[in-house]
Structure formats: structure tokens, C-alpha cells
Structure 1
Amino acid sequence: MPKVITSSEQLELKLSEVPEMPIPKDALMVTPKHFSVEYVINPHMAQNVGTVNKLEARNEWDVLKSTFEQIGINVHVIEGEEDLPDMVFCANQSLPYINETGDKHVFMSIMHADERKEEVPFIEQWYRQSGYEIHYLDDNEIDDFEGCGDAIWHNGRRLLWGGYGYRSSLQAYETISETFDIPVIALELVDEDFYHLDTCFCVLDENTVLIYPDAFTKEGLELINSVFNKVIKASKYEATKLFACNATCPDGKNVIIQQGCTDANKNLRDAGFSVHEVSTYEFLKSGGSVFCMKMMVW
């Protein structure tokens, strides 16, 4: 079986046979002290340069942090750095992993945009202090890889979903798969509004996922439908304007999502999830929401 799977014809694994992996109970967050929209590196930023209300952004961040804590997540905080306005989106700079013996590992990202490359060393410092073994991709062979923005763990399994096409190279997953000895199901992204996998694909529990279908190829949708028993589909408006699929469900039960996602929230509740709506309107101006603003860690 290929370690990096790009079509349903290559999909020979059965989910029940994939080894289990502990669900992380801690989250890393970066304060929005220096958050703003100062440049344009995705379509959502284009009309929002200089429009961020910093006080409101801090209020939104505080509420999000409190919401994680209310559902039992232990939050670690890093201070944002000057001249790195997007560092607050701390899902992007790394991919952490815990192996079968409990050893903690992390791959550091190769950020696609020059404006964000200097974020990585600050995040790496936290991992070093927290006992992680650090791994790097070869930037002579791999153009880019943006961590858990594109690489998303299947709930409770040693299976990685990997987005590629805009911010992460398909080749990166070959190195990650070999190093961690895990299968990767790679999904090509085809709509620039959904430039990261976490903007159009939200794993809810082992059997359920929330997606925006038009962000994927036919092959990608076949892979998703082959693995998940239940696929909840977000509408174009809620996915594009409210980042419905940039929600997060860290415990398989509680979904934290941008407020106003009426259709998605009804479908989530009908599927048995508890929905917690928060405002991330200031961060939407930069093309990010709930999932982008945290990194689940062990």
C-alpha cells in the first residue's frame, strides 16, 4: 500500500486497522498583540489591509481561549512577535505527533509566503522547551509545507490527511509519512479561496467530517467519502464568508465554530455535536478563524 494515497484506487487501508493515537488535550495559542492585515497573501485579505480593530481582535481571542478551557482543553500561550502579524494563526508553523511509546515529535514548516517565514523559529522554541524532537523538511527539495493548516490528523488514529496545491507541496508528505511511519491521504485543493485544507475540511470524530465539496477534486471527494461514514457539507456562503469548515472539534464532541453558520450548526447538532459559537470576525479579515488560531499539542 502506498504511504501517500492520492486516489481511491490506492486506498487499501481499513480505518479500524489503523493504529490508535491519543487525542491531544492541550492547545497552543499565540496572542494577537501584533495582529493586523498588512499585506495580501490570500484572497480574503485583499480588501482588508489596515482595517483590523485590535481591541476587538483581542476580545475575540480571549473568548476563544476561554471556550477551549471551558470544554476541558489546557491552553498554553505564546506572545505574538512584532512585525509578524499572522503569527496568531499558530496552526500553520508545525505538525506535532506522538508515537506509540509516548515520545513527542514535530515537523517544522516551510512557510509559503516570505512574510511568514520568521514565525517558525518562535514556535520551534516552545516545542524545544516542551520536550519535542524537532524534524525539518529539506527546503532544497520541498518548496513549502504549512503544518496543520494543511496536515490534519484523523480523530484518534495514526492517519494524516494532507492538503496540497496552494501552500503545501505534495512531496512533503512523502518525508512525513516515512519519518512517522504513517499513511497520508493527500487531497488536492482547487479553489484559491480555500488555500489550506483546514478552510474546507474539519474532522469532527472518527466517523464524521465537515467539508466544502467544491474545494476538492473528484478524486479527493471519493477519498473522503470512502473513509468517513458521515460527510456534512457546508454551503458556499458559510464556507467562504464565515469559514464554517475552519471550525474545530478537539474532543470529538464539542465543535467551536464562527458564529452565524446557521445551516452548518443545525447539521452539526442533528449529528449529535455540541456547538459553541464564537466571533472571529476580525481574524476572518486575514483569512483565518477558529482552527487556524490554535495548535493541538501533547
Structure 2
Amino acid sequence: MKKIYTSADQIDFTLSDIPSMPAPKQVLTVKPTYFDVEYVINPHMKDHVGRVDKMQALNEWEHLVDGYEELGFNVHQLDGVEGLPDMVFCANQSLPFIDEDGNKKVLMSIMHSPERKDEVPHIEKWYRQLGYEVEYLDNSQVDDFEGMGDALWHFKKRLLWGGYGFRSSLKAYDQISEKFDTPVVALELTDEKFYHLDTCMAMLNENSVLIYPDAFQQEGLDMIHKLFENVIEATQYEAEKLFAVNATCPDGKNVLIQQGCTDVNQKLRDAGFSVHEYSTFEYIKSGGSVFCMKMLLW
């Protein structure tokens, strides 16, 4: 089943029509040894060049890693690389997948910013060591695609939600849909402060999602509301200043989120989720938070 959907009236399926996919049980992280803000490639980085407290950043990263281990995930820790300060945001360089026969595959990204392109080979080498089948986009047709920064798997379903407009090309999803034989719901992003889909959309479970609505076109919001029973909305302040929507819910129950998101956290608890708060203030200076700092995989 492969097709790109860009409006609600095109959606000709229900979630029950979509094949199931197991939830990931492993987590890839990259040590923040060389993390810093050394350039400006998104609005959040402005005025933060050279202002990262590296000891605090390491403490924040270690606490987050502990959180995944406490939930029972197998956490891999890849060494950072000098000269690649944003490699710690390891959600961006790839899109992993497991097919119906249990074969593990990964599609490597084409990073939008020149400053980050050299991260991809290091992540690819690690996947090869883990036994993943590595695939690539046709870069003569696609200019950019930033992995799970923009491409989010629906919880336990072979359905992909794909953001485009700032860091990833809509054309990328034609190839992805073909390679993985999966439908893609394509969402155009409208606000440069929410330059990746993972900054304004967080999968919670099969029927629930957390979003910042003002980051989307109306067509995108219509598709979200058509396929999710429970749509939780973040306020502008918590989404923009605290990266509330850059949260992750790896098991459909426990939500790992930046600390201080009072409104969103109450809404999550009211919906039956367990909330675990972590400080990622040093990483927010670079435009990322909890979701960006890991890759869930099989």
C-alpha cells in the first residue's frame, strides 16, 4: 500500500486498514562530547553561539539516557565526532524501518544544511554494524530529507507522517512510499521556528497525538483530526519556548518531555499518560529537545 496524501478528502483508509508494526525496543543516542552552538541554521540558535554549558549539557543527556533504561529500553551510546556539534540530535540522519518479514532497514538522510551533511556517514556505519540493510534516496531527484526529524511512524502502524517545507522535500516521500511500500500523510510546515515535524507533532499512541496547531496548514490539521481520535494541543509558549511537542512516547504510555510544560503535562495526564520531565535547556539553545536526542529502532 503506497500513496501520498496531502488533504483529508484524499484519505481512503482507516487506521484499521493499516498493517501493524512492532514498537521499537532499542534507542540510539550520541554522546554530546562536542555539542555546542557553533553556527545558526534555525531561529532558536540565534544569540546562542558559544553559550552552551557543556557540563550541564552532559548532565541533561545522561539523565535522559537513564530514563530510557528505566523504561526497559536497550540504549546504544555512539561517540560524538569533533566538528559535528549537532550529531547529538540523532533523530535526523536516518529513517529506520522493519518490514513484515522482520527485516531491518534504514534510509539515510540528505541533510539540508551543509554543516550537518558529514554526520550521516557516521550514523550509517553504526547501522551497518548492527546488521541493518541501508538504502538511499535518489539525490538527483531529492534535495533534502532529514530522517525522523520530519518522518514520524504512526504508533505501531505501517503509516508514515511526513513533514516538508523547511528541511525535507515533498518529493522525498514519493521515493520513501515506494521503498517501504507504505502510505505517507504529508504535512506542510508553515513556521520556521517549527522547522521539523518533530517540533510540532508527537505520536503518543495509535489514537492520540500531541501537536502545536499553528505550525500547520489547515489541510494538515484536517488530516490529523481525521485519523486521530484524541488530538492534544500545546500552547504557543510551551511549544516555542519549552519545545513541549518535541516529546517522545516510546511505548504508548510514558511520555518523556522537557520540564516545565505545565499545561501540556496536565492534558497528557488527563488523557491517561505518565509524564516524565527532563531538563534539556542546553539543547533548546540549538533548537532541539527530547525527541531530537534519540533514535528509536528495532
- Same fold, TM-score > 0.5, yes or no: yes
Instruction: Specify the SS of the correspondent of 1:243.
Output: coil
For residue 94 of structure 2, what is the aligned residue in structure 1? 94
Q: Distance in 2 between matches of 1:225 and 1:72?
A: 32
Alignment correspondent of 1:166 = 166
SS of alignment partner, residue 87 of structure 2: coil
**Cα gap change, 1:13 to 1:122, in 2 (>3 Å):** same
Q: How does 1:44-59 map to 2 (within 5 A)?
A: 44-59=44-59
Q: Does 1:250 align with 2:270?
A: no
Match status 1:114 vs 2:102: no
CA distance in 2, matches of 1:289, 1:44: 12
2:36 is the alignment partner of 1:43: no
* 1:118-173 Cα distance to aligned partner (Å, 9 max, x none): 00000000110111111101111101000000000000000000000000000000
Determine if contact 1:96/1:104 at 8 Å carries over to the other structure: yes
- 1:73-84 equivalences under 5 Å are 73-84=73-84
Offset at residue 48 of structure 1 (A): 0.4
Give the distance between the partners of 2:67 and 2:95, measured in 1 at CA.
23
Partners of 1:205 and 1:253 within 8 A in 2:
yes
CA RMSD in angstroms, aligned pairs only: 0.7
Q: What residue number does 1:270 align with?
A: 270
For 2:215, the equivalent position in structure 1 comes to 215
| CA shift for structure 1 position 2 | 6.6
Cα deviation for residue 116 of structure 1 reads 0.1
SS in structure 2 of the partner of residue 152 of structure 1: strand
Structure 1 Cα separation of the partners of residues 73 and 2 of structure 2: 35
Q: Which 10-residue stretch deviates more, 136-145 or 239-248?
A: 136-145
Partner SS, residue 95 of structure 2: strand
Please list, as runs of the form range in 1=range in 2, the aligned pairs for 1:140-155 lying within 5 A after superposition.
140-155=140-155
- Once residues 283 and 74 of structure 2 are traced to their aligned partners in structure 1, the CA distance between those partners, rounded to angstroms, is 22
The equivalent residue for 1:60 is 60
In 1: Cα distance, 2:133 partner to 2:2 partner:
26
The amino acid of 2:114's aligned partner reads D
TM-superposition CA deviations, 1:157-194 (whole Å, max 9, x none): 00000000000000000001001100000000000000
For 2:140 and 2:12, how far apart are their aligned partners in 1? 32
Contact 1:2/1:10 (8 A) holds in 2? no
Conservation of the 8 A alpha-carbon contact between 1:163 and 1:188: yes
Provide the secondary structure at the position in 1 that maps to 2:192.
coil
| Counterpart code for 1:93 | Q
| Deviation larger for 199-208 or 68-77 | 68-77
Whether the aligned pair in 1 keeps the contact of 2:146 and 2:167 (CA below 8 Å) is yes
Q: What's the secondary structure of 1:161's corresponding residue?
A: strand
Q: Which residue pairs with 2:20 in the alignment?
A: 20
Percent of counterpart pairs with the same letter? 65
Does the 8 Å CA contact 2:247/2:289 hold for their aligned counterparts? Answer: yes
Q: Matches of 2:67 and 2:27 in 1, distance apart?
A: 12
Structure 1: distance between partners of 2:166 and 2:26: 29
User: What is residue 198 of structure 2 aligned with on the other side?
Assistant: 198
Secondary structure, aligned partner of 2:194: coil
1:233 aligns with 2:236: no
Q: Displacement of 1:71 after TM fit?
A: 1.1
68-77 vs 111-120, which moves further: 68-77
Within 1, Cα distance between the matches of 2:177 and 2:29? 26
Match of 2:184 in 1: 184
Measure, in 2, the Cα distance between the counterparts of 1:179 and 1:198: 22
Q: Counterparts of 1:94 and 1:23 in 2: how far apart (Å)?
A: 17
Please name the residue that 2:30 is paired with. 30
Q: Could you tell me whether the CA contact under 8 Å between 2:2 and 2:182 is conserved in 1?
A: no
Partner SS, residue 296 of structure 1: strand
Structure 2 residue runs without a partner (length 5+)? none
Aligned length: 298
- Stretches (4+) displaced over 4 A: none
Q: How many angstroms does 1:42 deviate by?
A: 0.1
CA contact (8 A) 2:257 2:276 kept: yes
Q: What SS does the corresponding residue of 1:244 show, helix, strand or coil?
A: coil
- Higher mean C-alpha deviation, range 2-11 or range 106-115: 2-11
